[in-house]
Amino acid sequence: MPVKARILFSHVHWDHIQGFPFFKPLYVKGNEFDIYAGTCLPTPIEEVLKQQMSPPCFPVKTDVLAARIKYHDIRPGDVIYGRNYRVT
Question: How does pLDDT run across 1-10, given as a tens digit for each residue?
Answer: 999 999 999 8
Where do the structural domains in the chain lie, given as residue ranges? 4-87
Model pTM? 0.88
DSSP annotation of 78 reads: -
CA atoms lying within 13 Å on the CB side of residue 1: 2
- pLDDT for 70 equals 98
pLDDT tens digit sequence for 8-47: 998 888 888 999 999 999 999 999 999 999 876 788 999 9
Alpha-carbon gap, residue 80 to 87, rounded angstroms: 5
CA atoms lying within 13 Å on the CB side of residue 43: 11
